[in-house]
Amino acid sequence: MGGTLRGVPVLLLTTTGRKSGLERTVPLVYDEQDGSFVVASSNAGHWEPAWLLNLRDDPRVTFDVGRRRFQGTAEIVDGERGKAMWARYEQLHPTYPKYRESRGVDFPMVVLHPDTAGSS
C-alpha cells in the first residue's frame, strides 16, 4: 500500500477507466491538508495523466494511504486556489518546480476527500 518513496509520501489512487470501465491504480505523491489529500496532475511535466481524465468522467475514487484505505470523491482544482496548492506541493520534492517550467502551464490539483464512513 502507499508509503514513502525516497522520503516523499506516496498514496495509491484507484480510478475507474473512462473507456474500459476497469479499475486503474497509480502511485502519487501527496500532501495531507485539513483531513484531505492533495495530489498534482503534473505527470513529470508532460501531458495530462490518464487518471485525471478518468476523474473528469467519474470523481468517485478509492485510495490507500499507508495501511488505511479510503473511499471518497476527487475534486479538481485550478485557478488561484490551485496555484496556492501547487506552491505548497512544490516543497515536497526538488523536481516539482522544474515540472511547471517544462510544461509552461499550471497543473490542475486534485483534492481527495475521504467519505466520513467507509475508511479502514
pLDDT-derived band at 7 (thresholds 50, 70, 90) equals low
- Please report whether residue 110 resides in a domain: yes
Number of domains within the chain: 1
Matching residue, cell 479502514:
120
pLDDT in tens, 27-65: 998 988 888 999 988 776 566 899 999 999 999 999 999
- Please report whether residue 120 resides in a domain: no
Say if CB 68 and CB 120 are below 8 A apart: yes
Which residues span the domain enclosing 47? 3-114
- Please report whether residue 72 resides in a domain: yes
Say if CB 4 and CB 21 are below 8 A apart: no
- Please report whether residue 54 resides in a domain: yes
pLDDT in tens, 71-82: 999 999 988 998
Say if CB 25 and CB 73 are below 8 A apart: no
Task: Say what the pLDDT of residue 60 is.
Answer: 97
- Please report whether residue 55 resides in a domain: yes
Residues of the chain above pLDDT 90, percent = 48
| Dihedral angle sign, alpha carbons of residues 70, 74, 80, 85 | positive
Task: Say what the pLDDT of residue 19 is.
Answer: 94
- Please report whether residue 119 resides in a domain: no
- Please report whether residue 107 resides in a domain: yes
Matching residue, cell 495523466:
49
- Please report whether residue 20 resides in a domain: yes
- Whole-structure pTM value: 0.84
